[in-house]
Amino acid sequence: MGVFPGLTATPLQATAYLGGVALFSIAFLVFLNSSISFVVTDLIGQKTGVGDAVGTLGFADELFALVACPLWGLLSDRVGIRAVAVTGYCVVAVSLICLVQSTNVYPQLLLGRLAFSLGAAACSTMVTAALPAMVARPAAKEEDEVLTEQTEADDGNAERASRSDSSEVTITPNMVNASQDSEQDAEEASPKPVLDTTAGISQLAGLVGLFTGLGALIALLLFLPLPAHLRDSGSGSGQSVQVSFYIVAAVAACVAIFVFFGLSGLPGEEGKRVSAIWSAPYDEMTKTGGDGHLHTILTPKPSYVKLVKESLKLGVTDPDIFLGYLGGFVARASSVGISLFIPLFVNSYFLRNGLCTSDPGNPTDIRESCKRAYVLASILTGIAETAALICAPLFGLLGGKWQRWPLFGASVVGLGGYIAFGFLQNPNPSRSGGHWAFIAAILIGISQIGSVVCSLGLLSRGIHRSLPSQESSEGENTPLLPHAERELDRPRLRGSIAGMYSMAGGGGILLLTKLGGALFDSWMPGAPFFLLAIFNAVLIIAIVIVQLVRGMATK
């Protein structure tokens, strides 16, 4: 893994992360979102109010995920990333089977959709949580593993309690606390060098963006055509949908098995196990010190409330985590702009101009009687997704060199793209001015993937920062607000931070779908795109303010 600076993950672990967690976390979601209407029409047999039913199911899904994501993140800080990811894919597999057993929309299909949301939330949250685990921690922390809620405990001081090469010493919290003053003095006297892993984190984040895009393509090219292929082989419409879900569920189960073995022994996950949910409130760690002694360290285990508090506080005190949360909000909202509002905009144009007579509340009817609108919407979304796929690794490389500025650039591109699309009078390339729709779609796709990759990179960079040691040596990364007490070891918070990141993204989706949808009906079809432009403008302003504050701090 020498291509990416600072990576500690093995090739198998990196493959399981990219080819398992990242690739399929989006693939199953795209499959269900695109095929749920066929469950309603072909399997349950409901032919009217399909749009309302699908919209309600989607809203319930996002609302449930908004709560589930931070809970999965908190849980992963106790039981480990692998356990949560495997559980998530198992839940996805079971829920896909249960979904096609439904005989009504409410409550059966709704409950199945919520179960899928629970599993998908675990998978998507672990995409964020596992990224920092792939990258080596600063060298200064390799001998400084033990932290209590109030202060860090240096292993070197604990080692003085033993002088036998074969002995194993248990250090209690009282013994750790007794040495805190001398530890802090030693740290201040000789600050340790920090290994910069920014480049490796950002490059890997670029690959994550690439693989999530490939996951969407897998869903579109392999999963979604399954019902049609099965119908061609003689199966009925309902049976073909049912068998398709069984096949995809089997794939989810295989991914769970692959992730179980592939993510074994993930860096930084030592000591995390399922029994930690109900175990004693202490973390136990055995390490070999610099003089060859074995040491068992006991430190107070942070409560779930403490994990939430710290992950929220870091969103205010750390500039990179703050921008990561805000970038995640914009990125997830942008994904809805591409997948939902571009097709809606195109369909509205065809309806207003009498080019389409279909019922806009029935997606399957649009595909049959308004095929031109459906094809054009597919082309525009495909162009946006292709641009995103191509630019994902590029943003990873840029993020490793300039940190926050690539996110700034992505937001500026998005600001222009969304304003341009919102003012479009004609998205049809066969008519005058229609070519601007393609240009705007490309800009939107570039902005969306830039927000995803750069926000993930900044978030991971913030997690790996050794704040106490860097405050004295690196003014550019000093906190936005002063903090009264020392933080928990940030790698211990990676799951909680990932959960908050996913929750921020879910908030962006809910705000855009509800407010953007309402403005679409009451104001103009371009309103959701203007709202997305505002989101990007806020992110631009936030980046500028952070850079100005950092600049003043270094003077």
Backbone Cα Rg of the chain: 25
Query: What residues form DSSP beta bridges with 288?
Result: 294
| pLDDT at residue 199 in the model | 62
- What is the rounded end-to-end Cα distance, in angstroms, of the chain? 38
Q: Do 323 and 499 touch, CB atoms closer than 8 A?
A: no
Interatomic CA distance for residues 328 and 334, integer angstroms: 10
Tell me if 403 sits within 8 A of 461, measured CB to CB: yes
Distance of CA 319 to the CA centre of its chain: 18
Distance CA(272)–CA(259), nearest Å, equals 16
Cα-based angle 381, 386, 392 (whole degrees, multiple of 5): 125
Burial class (CB in 10 A: 0-12, 13-18, 19+), 552: exposed
Structure tokens at 426: 């004609």
Sign of torsion, CA 312 495 455 5? positive
Q: Can you say how many angstroms the Cα of residue 402 is from the centroid of all Cα atoms in its chain?
A: 22
Cβ burial of 316 (10 Å; 0-12, 13-18, 19+) is middle
- Rounded to whole angstroms, the Cα distance separating 196 from 202 reads 12
Query: Residue 463 has what pLDDT?
Result: 82
Please give the structure tokens belonging to residue 212: 């999530």
Average pLDDT, rounded, for the chain: 79
Query: Do the Cβ atoms of 31 and 56 come closer than 8 Å?
Result: no
Question: To which H or E segment does residue 8 belong?
Answer: none
CA distance 155 to 183: 9
Class of domain 11-138+194-554: mainly alpha
Q: Check whether the bond before 107 is cis (ω within 30° of 0).
A: yes
Q: Give counts: helices (H), strands (E), the chain.
A: 22, 5
Rounded CA-CA distance 220/31 in Å is 7
What pLDDT is stored for residue 349 in this prediction?
Answer: 84
Q: Which of 176, 182, 185, 183 is nearest to 148 (CA)?
A: 176
Region of 214 on the Ramachandran plot (φ > 0 left; ψ -120 to 50 alpha; else beta): alpha
Helix (H, G, I), strand (E, B) or coil at 272: coil
Provide the token pair at 306.
């403490």
Q: How far is CA 322 from the centre of its chain?
A: 15
Give the integer Cα–Cα distance in Å for 413 and 304. 39
Q: What pLDDT, on a 0 to 100 scale, did the predictor assign at position 138?
A: 39
* Cβ pair 226, 247 in contact under 8 A: yes
Query: Token pair of 100, please?
Result: 């096609």
| pLDDT in single tens digits along all 555 residues of the chain | 445 556 777 889 989 999 999 999 989 988 898 788 888 888 888 877 776 788 788 888 889 998 999 999 989 888 889 999 999 999 999 999 999 999 999 899 999 999 999 999 999 999 988 888 887 553 344 444 443 333 444 444 444 444 434 334 444 444 444 444 444 444 444 444 444 555 677 788 888 989 988 988 898 889 988 988 888 888 888 899 999 999 999 999 999 999 999 998 887 776 677 766 666 556 666 667 667 777 777 666 677 788 888 888 888 888 999 999 999 999 999 988 888 888 888 888 887 877 765 555 555 455 554 677 778 888 898 899 899 999 998 998 888 788 788 999 999 999 999 999 999 888 877 777 678 899 999 999 999 999 999 999 888 888 877 544 444 444 445 444 444 345 567 777 888 899 999 999 999 998 988 888 888 888 888 899 999 999 999 999 999 999 888 877 776
Q: What is the pLDDT of residue 219?
A: 87
What is residue 359's predicted lDDT score, i.e. its pLDDT? Answer: 54
CB atoms inside a 10 Å sphere around CB 272? 21
The percent of residues above 90 in pLDDT, for the chain, comes to: 32
Cβ-based neighbours of 222, under 8 Å, separated by 6 or more: none
